[in-house]
């Protein structure tokens, strides 16, 4: 009994089936929707097909290659039944090169033809030069030519020979340059072909219709050769204003078909990770066996019969910018809706996008956020002599951020790259806006207080440091200064006489933090020190 609706297709075409596929009709699908996951994508295509009464076979083209055939679904309404579907990669197509590779190959073909023409010219010139050189002896006792006539003929012969030689030299140089260009293009073609261009596929679908009809068809499937990754622009025009965060996506696809004016959805899901929850096995403890004993035991076992023990674990377990980038990204908020009601977040973009089948990264704008921020300076002079301006953002959890690179712009100037690591961020998200040379930071050892003394069986080394800060800006600033005291994990190494100068001190990590305010042109010093006691005759490797 036939039933209408949609059917999930799990039929896989064998290699020998391609030559036997026959279809009454061939029809191109229109790709309407692309849902791009962090790894992989789902394409939804539509078509209107004319069906006769009874069985119909239609060969659909503009199908991606190397699709996940378990995900393939074909939907048909109005009582039309989908009886079967067979997918095949279209390896018979002439489009076996990527668009970029085809462009390079076309250039190689044109240059090769030009080289043949140049070679023909060189052959003709070589023959002309040979004729002139062979017949250059025209004088003699019986020539009957006067001296004047002989001189005139020699001049004509010389000028023509010189002209031919010059022309041949130019053609030789042209051949040399052409060969160099061909070598460069062939190298580019080789690199492009290594990227693994994916040709498109075909889908042979058999329908059954009770009556002749024109019917809408929807076909969807997932594919591995696509994905997106987040990246951000963070712009701060003035520390008295909020920070602007531009949420963007680098989208790529190498599916075998171009996504032309499709509705784009970016999902934080990843179907390729699998959905099956892990199952834990018992954790059995055993005594440690030294490697030397293991090797000796293995050598002794070589002559013994092999024994298979049950229960063993198996060990098998680019950058281009689309036109939308030139738009004001703030207007994108009107076209993007966010859905985080499920287990992943989706950004539905109500604008048509075209993503070429080239495997290159294409920037898609998602959202713009105005983020209230507090600004501070930060310095860790033990590691870096400069002070860094930072923006601190709270209540960032609702922004649906993912780990990704950031491009930092301050006062309209690009200052460098950073990284958002939301997995290791607590309640405050901190962005570094770059170095500020107007905040002068120095860390120096106090040589007067530095000492090494031997008392009894122990050595006592005393260290003291001064951190000097100067604000040469016209405005007052807040700055966080961080340094550290050593921490001992050995009872014979003792840290004594610790001076922290009012720092926020963590005894577990040894970290010290001072939060200071500096007026314009103000200087401040921070002093700290400690003594390390350890047994004589011992040396601490990382003490200095």
Task: Convert 21-47 into a string of H (helix), E (strand) and C (coil).
Answer: CCCCEEEECEEEEEEECCCCEEEEEEE
DSSP 395: S
Secondary structure element (H or E) that encloses residue 230, with its range: strand 226-236
Q: Which residues neighbour 101 within 8 Å (Cβ) at sequence distance 6 or greater?
A: 189, 192, 193, 197
pTM given for the model: 0.63
Distance of alpha carbon 58 from alpha carbon 333, whole angstroms? 41
Query: Which pLDDT value is given to residue 482?
Result: 96
Digit-coded pLDDT (tens) for 69-110: 889 999 998 889 999 999 887 655 445 566 677 788 888 889
DSSP 17: G
Beta strands in 64-197 (DSSP E): 68-76, 81-89
Query: Which pLDDT value is given to residue 251?
Result: 94
Q: Which two tokens stand for residue 430?
A: 């901190």
Are 441 and 386 spatial neighbours (Cβ–Cβ below 8 Å)? yes
Q: Which two tokens stand for residue 523?
A: 């200087």
Query: Which pLDDT value is given to residue 186?
Result: 84
Are 228 and 268 spatial neighbours (Cβ–Cβ below 8 Å)? no
Digit-coded pLDDT (tens) for 266-298: 998 877 766 677 778 777 665 555 554 444 444
Secondary structure element (H or E) that encloses residue 512, with its range: strand 511-518
Secondary structure element (H or E) that encloses residue 166, with its range: helix 147-193
Sign, CA torsion 12/15/20/26? positive
Query: Which pLDDT value is given to residue 55?
Result: 93
Query: Which pLDDT value is given to residue 3?
Result: 45
Which stretches of the chain drop beneath a pLDDT of 70? 1-24, 90-99, 135-158, 193-198, 273-275, 284-333, 340-343, 424-425
Three-state DSSP state, 183: helix
What is the domain partition of the chain in residue ranges? 5-96+200-223, 99-137+153-193, 226-272+318-436, 439-535
What class, spelled out in words, does domain 439-535 have in CATH? mainly beta
DSSP 521: T
Query: Which pLDDT value is given to residue 135?
Result: 62
Beta strands in 319-455 (DSSP E): 320-321, 336-339, 346-355, 362-371, 373-379, 387-394, 404-410, 413-420, 428-436, 439-445, 451-455
Ordered strands of the 41-51 beta sheet: 5-8, 68-76, 213-223, 41-51, 30-36, 259-267, 346-355, 336-339
Query: Which pLDDT value is given to residue 451?
Result: 93
Query: Which pLDDT value is given to residue 317?
Result: 30
Nearest residue to 418 via CA among 436, 430, 400, 402: 430
* Average pLDDT score, the chain: 80
């Amino acid at each position: 009994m036939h039933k209408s609706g949609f059917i999930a297709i799990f039929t896989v075409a064998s290699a020998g089936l391609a030559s036997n596929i026959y279809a009454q009709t061939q029809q191109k699908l229109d790709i309407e929707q692309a849902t791009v996951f962090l790894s992989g994508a789902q394409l939804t295509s539509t078509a209107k097909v004319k069906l006769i009464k009874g069985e119909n076979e239609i060969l659909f083209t503009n199908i991606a290659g190397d699709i996940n055939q378990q995900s393939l679904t074909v939907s048909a309404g109005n009582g039309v039944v989908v009886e079967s579907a067979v997918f095949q990669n279209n390896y018979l197509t002439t489009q076996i090169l990527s668009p970029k590779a085809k462009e390079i190959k076309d250039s190689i073909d044109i240059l090769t033809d030009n080289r043949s023409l140049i070679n023909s010219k060189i052959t003709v010139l070589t023959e002309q030069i040979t004729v002139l050189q062979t017949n250059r002896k025209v004088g003699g006792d019986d020539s009957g030519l006067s001296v004047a006539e002989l001189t005139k003929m020699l001049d004509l012969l010389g000028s023509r020979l010189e002209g031919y030689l010059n022309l041949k030299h130019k053609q030789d140089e042209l051949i040399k340059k052409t060969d160099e260009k061909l070598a460069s293009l062939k190298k580019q073609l080789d690199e492009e072909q290594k990227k693994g261009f994916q040709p498109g596929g075909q889908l042979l679908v058999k329908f059954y219709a009770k009556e002749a009809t024109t019917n809408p068809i929807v076909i969807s499937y997932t594919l591995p050769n696509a994905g997106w990754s987040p990246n951000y622009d963070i712009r701060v025009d003035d520390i008295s204003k909020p920070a602007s965060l531009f949420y963007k996506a680098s989208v790529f696809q190498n599916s075998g078909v171009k996504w032309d004016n499709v509705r784009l959805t970016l999902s934080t899901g990843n179907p390729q990770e699998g959905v099956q929850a892990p199952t834990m096995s018992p954790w059995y403890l055993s005594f440690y066996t030294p490697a030397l004993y293991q090797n000796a035991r293995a050598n002794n076992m070589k002559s013994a019969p092999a024994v298979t023990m049950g229960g063993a674990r198996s060990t098998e377990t680019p950058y281009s910018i689309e036109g939308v980038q030139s738009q004001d990204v703030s207007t994108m908020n009107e076209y993007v809706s966010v859905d985080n009601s499920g287990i992943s977040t989706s950004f539905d973009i109500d604008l048509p996008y075209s993503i070429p089948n080239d495997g290159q990264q294409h920037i898609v704008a998602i959202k713009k956020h105005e983020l209230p921020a507090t600004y501070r300076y930060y310095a860790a002079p033990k590691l870096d002599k400069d002070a860094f301006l930072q923006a601190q953002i709270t209540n960032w959890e609702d922004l649906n951020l993912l780990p990704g690179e950031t491009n930092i712009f301050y006062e309209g100037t690009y200052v460098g790259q950073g990284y958002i690591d939301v997995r290791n961020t607590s309640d405050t998200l901190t962005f570094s806006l770059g170095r500020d040379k107007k905040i002068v930071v120095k860390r120096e050892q106090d040589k007067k207080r530095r000492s090494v003394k031997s008392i009894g069986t122990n050595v006592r080394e005393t260290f003291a440091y001064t951190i000097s800060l100067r604000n040469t800006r016209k405005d007052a600033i807040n700055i966080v200064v961080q340094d550290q005291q050593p921490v001992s994990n050995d009872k014979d190494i003792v840290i004594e006489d610790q001076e922290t100068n009012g720092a926020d001190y963590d005894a577990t990590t040894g970290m010290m933090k001072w939060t200071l305010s500096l007026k314009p042109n103000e200087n401040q010093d921070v002093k700290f020190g400690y003594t390390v006691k350890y047994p004589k005759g011992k040396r601490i490797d990382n003490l200095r």
